Amino acid sequence: MNFNPMDNQDGILMYCAQSEEGLGDFVALVVKDERVEFRYDIGSGLAIIRSNHVLRPGVWTHVSVNRDFKEGNLTINGEPTIGGKSPGTARTMTLNTLLYIGGVDRRRITVNKNAGVNRTFRGCISDVSSS
């Protein structure tokens, strides 16, 4: 995914969850405190993988994330990958909601509190892909 923030505010880049009520498993890619965070919970605890790269409004950023069972990776602009993993014994994730890009439909979704951000992203998002 590539994105270009309009400002320094926090925002949801991508979100998907087990339930529309904000309970259970979830995965989120967010801008928080001018950095990108990859957050997920596979049922046994929260993983937070935080970039050291400080975002600047008006500057395009490329982010790549992946998760393999408990382990997750975050790469910003081709810099060295930052890894992390969720605690506990759970290994798989159950996701039932739609995949939201740039924010969520607040009429349908309550964002899991552990996503850390509940605001819509302000800016441009392009080149969203999966591999």
Residue 131: per-residue pLDDT: 66
Mean model confidence pLDDT for the chain: 95
Give the chain's largest Cα–Cα span: 41
Cβ(102)–Cβ(120) below 8 Å? yes
How is the chain split into domains, by residue range?
2-110
Among 70, 28, 73, 76, smallest CA distance to 53 is for 76
The backbone torsions φ and ψ at residue 25, rounded to the nearest 5 degrees and listed phi first, read: -65, 150
Q: Which CATH architecture has domain 2-110?
A: Sandwich (2.60)
pTM: 0.94
- Above 70 in pLDDT, residue 107? yes
